Amino acid sequence: MNTVVTSKEDILKASRKLIQQKGWSAINIRSVAKACGVSVGSIYNYFDSKAALVSAAVESIWCEIFHRPKEGAVFQDTNACIIWMYGQMEYGCKQYPGFFTLHSLGFMREDKAQGKRRMLKVWQHILDELCSVLKRDARIRADAFTEQFTEERFADVIFSLMLSALLRQDYDPTAVLEIVRRALY
């Protein structure tokens, strides 16, 4: 076996590929080491446990799915951003079948605090970006937001609807766009 140390990104790339090809249960230290062509000890140089490896793989999948596009125009308009996000959700489900539901259920089943923290960190990044879009969108009425009904709260509502759509595998943003239209424009 090749004992050359690989990089953390190579390990995560191999993990993502295993998830795509064999599903969520394929991820463990030995299978990832084999896929990387390195020793088990090489994987332990980067991840001290299977839980750490799995949570890092989950985070890397979320980051891949919601990686900011080079075209920044999608983040100037709330509708364009929501349409893009729904498209990314559909892409994620095609690339990683069952990923969204399986990893969420896996984290709920066992106490995987590190994984939960990483997932919440990624989700917070998505929420922050959505909130920024709401603040930049020139089409939103001046009186749409108040001290009680803030951009942050509305972003949280939109994101909750999107997470629900993920679980249903419903990639049609029409209902959310109608809510945005009625509430903000």
Under a CB-based contact definition with an 8 Å cutoff, are residues 177 and 79 in contact? yes
Residue 110 — pLDDT band, cuts 50, 70, 90?
A: very low
Average confidence score pLDDT of the chain: 86
Of 74, 177, 27, 25, nearest to 11 by C-alpha is 27
Residues 88-99: pLDDT tens digits? Answer: 999 998 998 877
Distance, C-alpha 147 to centroid of its chain = 29
* Residue 53 counted as domain residue: no
pTM for the predicted model, two decimal places = 0.83
* Residue 2 counted as domain residue: no
Q: What is the DSSP letter of 150?
A: -
CATH code for position 23: 1.10.10.60
What pLDDT shows up at residue 115? 62
Distance, C-alpha 34 to centroid of its chain = 26
What's the domain range around 24?
8-48
Residues 7-50: pLDDT tens digits? Answer: 999 999 999 999 999 887 888 999 999 999 999 999 999 999 99
